[in-house]
A and B are shown apart, each in its own frame.
Chain A
């Protein structure tokens, strides 16, 4: 199975900060990489698919980049509603695998 290594596992930031989360795949997954946000007690929500395509309604402060094995989720200016846990997911091959998550907390 493809391993997805996400870093950091948690970070502390303030409103307005630029935040970067990385995800590394154990092998080339082409562009089959998405990012999901999960707020406490809620179901996950799709943010980005295909490395960099924003899902409908997702604010433009979110962006994704990368290729092959290394991928990045960036929040350009953190907003109060962005304090949550973020997961990457590879859908290149079964079994599909999530990263272990990055919790973005208030500094």
Chain B
């Protein structure tokens, strides 16, 4: 049990639609990041948020966006869905006081299928 919960667990969308995925982190975990895990691959970093601002992004286009809220929850939004967006989306959080050596705590993910 990592204390990181994600919703929904599964969802199906069609190409061109928009999706919002949600994450609730542990109290005190004030930095959150999102990863995309395509089938058969390792997770890839999308972006991270600290104090409700994006402060780092991986190699993902602007149609991937996010929000972080003061209550340790966050959202990942994906616009104009493409077939290749089908993946497991993982939220991960960390207590900022743990420093750069602290491990990430992952949720169980939201599996998105784009048809």
B is a partner of A: no
